[in-house]
Amino acid sequence: MTRRALLKLLGLAPVAAFVGCAEAKDAGATGSSAFSKVEWKKILPPESYRVLFEEATERPGSSALNHEKREGVFVCAACFNPLFDSTGKYESGTGWPSFFKPIKATALGTSTDYLLLFPRTEYHCAHCGGHQGHLFNDGPAPTGKRYCNNGVALRFIPKTETLPALRG
């Protein structure tokens, strides 16, 4: 069930309409990828597609990437754009893989969403526009940032393996 549908079910149709406006604003964020949402839906597992292109959220504690400690790179699960290096990962206690810095500033784009009725900074893959998670100002030094990521929106590539070619 989408957040908009839940709000309607709870009788908060005016709020749902507002949320719809916020979603519509961000829905066009497709990055530089040549793939459409229809094409992504054909190649991604359903849960990854829901998170990446419908801005769903996976259950906290459900990702194997929470426990990933090896050296390597976390890439976007859709287009394989490198997003985070393992040296920027830390245990935030939130139940989602968390990072204090992206692999490079241009790897991610941001927008403001109001899906919980207050502004939050959403971040997404700069290549395909896939929703990754939310950015908070409560992370560790040296950045003070917490990139709280959905595990199904990422794929881990160990340092011993070659990064996959960018797709889409």
CA distance 19 to 129: 19
CA angle (74 as vertex; 68, 75 as ends), nearest 5: 145
Exposed / middle / buried, residue 49 (Cβ in 10 Å: 0-12, 13-18, 19+):
buried
- 3 state SS of 102: coil
Catalytic: 21?
A: no
Amino acid at position 10, single letter = L
Exposed / middle / buried, residue 150 (Cβ in 10 Å: 0-12, 13-18, 19+):
buried
Exactly one of 76, 125, 128, 148 is catalytic; name it.
Answer: 148
Tokens 């919980």 identify what position? 116
CA distance 158 to 116: 35
Rg of the chain's alpha carbons, rounded to an integer?
Answer: 16
Question: What is the set of active-site residues?
Answer: 148
